[in-house]
Amino acid sequence: MNTNWHSIFNDFKKIKVLIVGDAMIDSYMWGSINRQSPEAPIPIVDIEKYEKRLGGAANVASQIKALGATPLLCSVIGNEDKGFFDLMKHENLSTRGILQEERKTTIKTRIISENKQQLRVDEEDTFPIINESDFIKNSINLMSNVHVVIFQDYNKGVLTKNVINSLVEFASKKQIPTLVDPKKENYWRYKGVNLFKPNAKELIESNSEKEALSLENISKIVTKQRKQLNAKLFLVTLSEKGVFIQTEKEEHHYSAYNRKIIDVSGAGDAVIATAALALAQKLDCHILAQLANLAGGLSCENVGVDPIDRENLLNEAIRLVQNRKIYNA
């Protein structure tokens, strides 16, 4: 059976996605290096341009929108939003799910020169959010009208134990598919989600037996963890080695496509966003994994966190099918 890629991508526009997690601002300082500091063995960057973009869970929302679907973001930022609402307005994204409280709005500042990051400076609070009940209530209200839910966890305090348990339980009752991009602290709290997406580092760190990274070991670890977490799908991103996907009945490894890798920032966001839209359409696990793999690779071709373009992803999928480099279900 030949996959109708145009139909799949056209159906993206019918999908509403709730993204719950740690939203932040990605700030960039672009400049050039012409000399070394006389005070320490470090380069001096002459700043030429400043830029702010949506980051974290907010970048996933931007990525969902760039792919043609409708995102709804639920997060908590500081009372001083530091320009967050202006960025949301500029992207034409709803702020109905954004609550504010006494904490810092997370800002990651990257200093970039010579087409690569020279330094990153983080401003953040990571303690649990204060108004859990309000956040849960607001998130549930918005969840009632979506097709899929993404939990985007950066360990910045939004996704507490109560938030996770309440929202996963509600989604399960409403039969809304769920995905999680986990981090170490909450790794084992996402029991019962439909798709669990760690990267290789997170997978190995969560394993009690510190084993070398090989496909055989990955398969063994994933089998164990998938059962422990009661997840239907396990999608592991392996950086330059591609992706590994496992269901109850099968598993597959798809190698990364040849690309000029410039910056891996935001690759995981592109993967989870694309996987969510595939999951919402109940696409074959082969197609889901390969589209996600393709999206992650495309996102690495630009400096900084920047959503990939829908048409670019579609054209790449069609091109790789024609070149027989992608499985055509």
> Do the beta carbons of residue 151 and residue 198 sit within 8 Å?
no
Four-CA torsion 135, 91, 268, 29, nearest 10 degrees:
-110
Query: CB of 177 within 8 A of CB of 194?
Result: yes
CA 71/CA 65 separation, integer angstroms: 6
Q: Could you list the beta-strand ranges (E) of 169-220.
A: 178-181, 195-196
Q: Who's near 205: CB < 8 A, 6+ residues apart?
A: 184
**Count of C-beta atoms within a 10 Å radius of residue 322:** 10
21 touches 58 (CB < 8 A): no
* Phi, psi (degrees; rounded to nearest 5) at 206: -80, -10
- Which residue in the list 269, 284, 306, 309 is annotated as catalytic? 269
Residue 11 designated active-site: no
Quote the CA–CA distance of 278 and 284 in Å, as a whole number. Answer: 8
CA distance 131 to 118: 37
Residues that are catalytic = 269
